[in-house]
Amino acid sequence: AGASTSTSSALSSVYSSGGATQKYMKDANGNIVKKPKVEGATTFAEYVKCGESNVMVKRICGCLDYPKAQSCGDYSEGSVIDAHFRHHPMTRAHLECAKKRLDHFSVVLVTEMMEEAAPFLRWKFGWESVDTHAARGGTSRGSSALEEFKNEPETIQMLHDKHDLDLELYEHAVSLLCQDLAKMKELGMQLR
């Protein structure tokens, strides 16, 4: 191995300094930076600070431009492992890709509107009943991170900063669901 190290091997390099193992990753500007650790987070703010950003955009369109990453099906030598790909930065191009993909889904639902969506699901798929409570995954209708952390403005700002693209994707999903509900209503279908 020569003196220069390729980016992909630098991303997965680990070295020991003072007994602490530190891993590195590439930031949005292409610089090699220390990868944040999620384990050991004792507060929600620490978890948000150390966790993934724009998770939904990444899940729907993270492999745009086919990065050399195992999460994108590339298991060749030097590909970025899943744990490092979690911190791969998302861009507006990823967001636009995710929006376009949602546009092609048969149905787009949002947790906060499951009750309103139940008649739509019955209409769209011919289902006789829809259990909206089970579909919510245990969350309550009124649950809100903004409300829960209203006395922690730094945490709220961090959520917005780390999930800005996800928030835009969420608004797009709400818009798609509202359009579908409006179509159903136009056709004279029962909403409740």
Q: Along the 192 residues of the chain, how does pLDDT read in single tens digits? A: 333 332 222 222 222 223 333 455 555 566 666 555 556 667 878 878 877 889 899 989 988 877 788 888 888 888 888 777 777 889 999 999 999 999 999 999 998 888 888 888 988 889 888 887 665 555 666 667 778 888 888 988 998 999 999 999 999 999 999 999 999 888 876 554
Q: What is the pLDDT of residue 10?
A: 26
CA 191 to chain centre: 30
Q: What is the pLDDT of residue 22?
A: 43
Which of 99, 81, 77 is closest to 90 using CA atoms? 99
Number of C-beta neighbours around residue 25 at 10 A: 21
Q: What is the pLDDT of residue 112?
A: 84
Q: What is the pLDDT of residue 11?
A: 25
| Distance separating alpha carbons of residues 148 and 151, to the nearest angstrom | 8
Q: Is the pTM of this model over 0.95?
A: no
Q: What is the pLDDT of residue 155?
A: 87
| Distance separating alpha carbons of residues 134 and 121, to the nearest angstrom | 14
